[in-house]
Amino acid sequence: MSWPWSQLGLPGPSDLPEVRHAYAEKLKTTHPEDDPEGFQRLHSAYQLASRMARQRKRQAGGQPPESQAERPVPPPQPPEEREEFDFDRLLEDKEEDPRRPHSGDEDQDFDFDRLLQEEESPSRSPETEEQDFDFERLFAEGEAERAEARRRRGEERRRAQAQVRAWARERQRAQEWTQKREYWQRQEQQNNYDRERREQFSQEEERWQGTETILHTIEMMYNAQAGVEVWQRFFMSPLFQQHKGGLDLIFGLEDFVSAKNLSQEVRLALFTAYGFDKGVARPELRPLYQMLLPAWRAAGREKNRERSLVILGVALGLVLPFLLGPLLDWGLIPAFGVSLGIVWIIWVVRKIVITGNIGRNVSKKQERRSIIKGTVCVLGLVLLLSWVRTKPELDWRKLLPAGDPREQTCRYIEKDFGVKVGSLYNLSETYADEAHDNVFYLEGDPTNRRFLAGPDGERDIKNGKRGYTTNLPEMLLLWELKEFARAHKMEPVNSLDQDMEPWETSGTFLIVLPISEGEEIISELGELMDELRQEKWYKALATRCELVLCSAEMEEGRVVLIRIQPGLTVYSTAQCLDVYEETFAHSCCAQILKELELDRDFLGDGEERYSLTNEGMAQMKGDKCVKLYGLNEEGAVAMEYYINPKLRNIYCVPGNFWETGNAEEQIGFYRLLYWGDRGTFNLFYPWLRVD
């Protein structure tokens, strides 16, 4: 296929209508704005093809060759030599002709309206004119599309300009807000500065007023010869403590102390008020410290002298019973009490007679109060010792501090729990080893009932510190539960204590209940827990202590009825009975069926496991049995189970056994099932089926 027919998509030389039709189809996909070069090639091909089609038509109509030669067909220009279109001007919204002529150039832009006109209009017949396409309409549609494109671009430019103006307004508002914020910040800083200046001035004025008030008050107290108590209260008052660090007050006190003849007690009170007994904190306080230091040293010497007299009096009181024989007839401890009381009375009388008061910085009222208290204490001690003589059974050793921490721990436990205990370590040399260092026992039963205890810091009951640690409350609960199990012929209470000594426990106690007929055990266990809750040691149970009511051990664990923490919750008999009667027996029987692999089609070796549901109780063979249904994947009853745990009988019937007219008489012994090392079960199954 040669050019230009290939450019128009024609198979070869064609008539003018076909050329125009092909050109119109190509114009739909080739637009001057989108593909200028392609449009130029298409238009050149259309011109050449049109001329060749007209020439063929004239030759076929018998025109002379001379007329054909008059219009030679110009060869097609290559794409690089063809004239260029100014497509930018085509997009401008003007009424002028978008084609721009080149002044002085040989080439000029195409006039699309003229190009679509016939070059040899006289030779076209009316039939041909009717078959031509309406190219003016096609170009009008293209012009409408270009106008729509220009409108859209104008709309976009207007939106962009509006957006730019909006952004400018936002920037203007942001700048205004920033300026306002900076102005407010400057105002706030100025206000803070003014407020700080006012507060500083107010504090300075208050400090001056406080200093003047303190110095004036001290002057008045000195002139009135106030007592030591008044000076002490004033020096400890909030007014003095708040302003005592001011330099004006310190300088004023220095002048006052150096000019006035203050007593030693007043100087000592001022020395203590400034905390000079712990050292001088600031250099400006050192002159005042040097003025008051002699009073502090004199008070120290007086304190040492009084301490020496107290030590001498105590020593004299301890020796006096041996010098006065009649005192020893009362006993050693009463004799010591009486002698020390006499020495104390002598010391009080000495202070009153010699110094005029009991001690420094003590008022007359306090002196009288101290004398009365001392006299009452001595008389009370004499009466107590006289009463103790009438109680020879009292153990005086318990009134004295214990030298052995284990003995002290035994006293604490007896006081807290009301039970007498002893240390197995101190019982005999047999147990005097590291293994029994913290092992204690209940008095009267050192063989079986043992527990752990040991000292643990200082004793402070108000802050919850007992002074020792022990597992005695947990062991007492375990011993009571074991005794309860033996009395009811139950399995021994298992405390999950693996690899533990008899005096150790994990705090978890297992009460094994029978699968059926265990209501009486649950009720009596509730009565026992109510009685134990009244004991002193029961309230000291650890919060981690746990009481678990469960079934006997199975191959895959135990079925738990309920868990109770005695240290936190109260054992509820009604709650335990409700759970026991409703679900416990069925849960245990369901676990037995699973472990015996009866929860499936055991006759046909089916692999599908049935879902076991609680269906209450039912009668089977005259016995009260636990009834369960085995549901298949569709939820239908595939098997019915009737279990008698006491007789260890299991009755199994198909799901449709009763609907098909069968009866209990057809259910007979099937085989013996071995449940590991936990015994056997008798399996019963219908031996006859009725369709």
How does residue 358 score in pLDDT terms, banded at 50, 70 and 90?
very low
Q: How many CB atoms lie within 10 A of CB 60?
A: 8
C-alpha 681/C-alpha 626 separation (Å) is 15
Kindly list the distances between the CA atom of residue 501 and the CA atoms of 247, 393, 493, in Å, as whole numbers in the listed order: 73, 38, 16
Does residue 527 register a pLDDT over 70? yes
Q: What is the model's pLDDT at position 648?
A: 92
472-487 and 519-532 helices cross at what angle (nearest 10)? 150
**pLDDT value at residue 392:** 55
Residue 73: the pLDDT is: 46
**Tally of CA atoms within 13 A in the half-sphere of 178 that contains its CB:** 6
Confidence of residue 637 (pLDDT cuts 50, 70, 90): very high
Q: Which region among 38-42, 215-219, 255-259, 368-372 has the lowest average model confidence (pLDDT)?
A: 368-372
In Å, how far are 72, 192, 484, 488 from 481, measured between CA atoms?
A: 129, 75, 5, 11
Torsions phi, psi for 111 (to 5 deg): -100, 105
Distance CA 242, CA 519 (A): 75
Average pLDDT, integer, range 55-83: 54
Mean model confidence pLDDT for the chain: 78
Distance CA 169, CA 434 (A): 89
- The strand order across the sheet containing 680-686 reads 611-620, 623-631, 637-644, 649-654, 680-686, 667-674
- 94, 176, 313, 331, 378 from 322: Cα distances, Å: 141, 102, 15, 11, 20
Asked whether residue 285 carries a pLDDT value surpassing 70, the answer given is yes
**Residue length of the chain:** 691
The residue type found at 586 is H
Q: Please write the tens of the pLDDT for every residue from 166-215.
A: 999 999 999 999 999 999 999 888 898 888 888 877 777 777 888 888 88
> Measured between alpha carbons, how far is 670 from 653 in angstroms, rounded to an integer?
12
Closest alpha carbon to 643 in 553, 514, 516 = 516
Quick check: helix, strand or coil at residue 237?
A: coil
Q: Look up the pTM and report it.
A: 0.46
Secondary structure of residue 144 in the 3-state scheme: helix
Q: Is the pLDDT of residue 403 over 70?
A: no
pLDDT tens across 370-389, in order? 667 666 766 676 676 666 65
CA–CA separation, 547 and 573 (whole Å): 13
Token match 């721009």: residue? 100
Residue 241 has pLDDT above 60, yes or no: yes
Rounded CA separation 575/569 (Å)? 13
Question: 445-455 and 508-512 as β-strands: parallel, antiparallel, unpaired?
Answer: unpaired
- Predicted confidence (pLDDT) per residue in 568-597, tens digit: 888 888 999 999 999 999 999 999 999 999
Long-range contacts formed by 638-645: CB under 8 A, 24+ apart:
638/601, 638/610, 639/599, 639/601, 639/610, 641/589, 641/593, 641/598, 641/612, 642/618, 643/589, 643/592, 643/593, 644/620, 645/514, 645/515, 645/516, 645/585, 645/588, 645/589, 645/592
Q: Tell me which residue of 271, 287, 290, 259 sits closest to 232, measured CA to CA.
A: 271
Lowest mean pLDDT among 6-15, 95-104, 495-504: 95-104
What are the residues facing 554 on neighbouring strands? Answer: 557
Among the residue ranges 103-112, 488-497, 527-536, 635-644, the one predicted with the least confidence is 103-112
Q: State residue 69's pLDDT score.
A: 39
Reference 591, options 621, 633, 626; nearest CA is 626
- So what's the pLDDT on residue 31? 76
Cβ pair 374, 345 in contact under 8 A? yes
Q: How confident is the model over 6-16, as a mean pLDDT? A: 85
Taking only the tens place, the pLDDT of each residue in 257-276 is: 888 888 888 888 888 888 88
Is residue 36 within 8 A of residue 79, CB to CB? The reply is no
